[in-house]
Amino acid sequence: MGGASGFSLRFGDVVTLASAFFLSLHVLLTAQVANGRSVTVLTVIQFVVAGVIGITLGAFAEPMPDFASFPSDTWLSLAYLAVFASCAALLLQNLGVAHTEPAQASLFLSLESVFGVLFAVLMLGEMPAGTAYVGFVLIFAGIVFSEYVPLKVESWRRRKGAADPAEASDPIEPRSAAAEELSEIEEADAFMR
């Protein structure tokens, strides 16, 4: 935020917005490509392509590190980051995206920043700025709104159709109260999955 001077975007904000765009593109493409294919193979291909691009750009933009001077704890940290924070995390994310609607997957992936700050507070004792709390509320409100409102609209349309099928925009068979309640339970169960 620009503080007293008003709202302004800085370089980090632009990078964050660009990252959000590419994450949503990644989710959409993964959901499309993973349909009926091996998610593990897809994840390996993603790592190989990203690795080749990263090594190529790094060779031109960064000096070659002196690997022999790395202490053992650095190698352990790198191994942890490579195996758990990268390979396993992306594989699990791709598995989730392959079995979820892309819109829902994007919404739930938006919680990454919330949990990142939460763990920083719990494990490192950091205190987020006030704007971070506003961001958390907006993220949660967006998720609840985008998941809850369509369910309520559909439920309302079904009730309207059951009360007067001739006036409903879509012809819906009249349903009993028990069938309506069962449908809402199934919708809630699908949402929780």
pLDDT tens per residue across span 37-92:
888 999 999 999 999 999 999 999 999 888 889 999 999 999 999 999 889 999 99
Rounded distance, CA 117 to CA 60, Å?
33
Q: For 101-131, give one letter per residue: b (16+ CB within 10 A) or e.
A: eeebbbbebbeeeeeebeeeeeeeeeeeeee
Based on the number of CB atoms within 10 Å of its own CB, is 62 exposed (0-12), middle (13-18) or buried (19 or more)?
Answer: exposed
- Answer yes or no: pTM beyond 0.75: no
Would you say 34 and 98 are in contact if contact means Cβ atoms under 8 Å apart? Answer: yes
Say what the pLDDT of residue 180 is: 60
Region for residue 173 given its phi and psi (left: phi exceeds 0; alpha: psi -120 to 50; beta: otherwise): beta
Structure confidence by residue, pLDDT tens digits, 146-168? 777 777 777 777 777 765 555 44
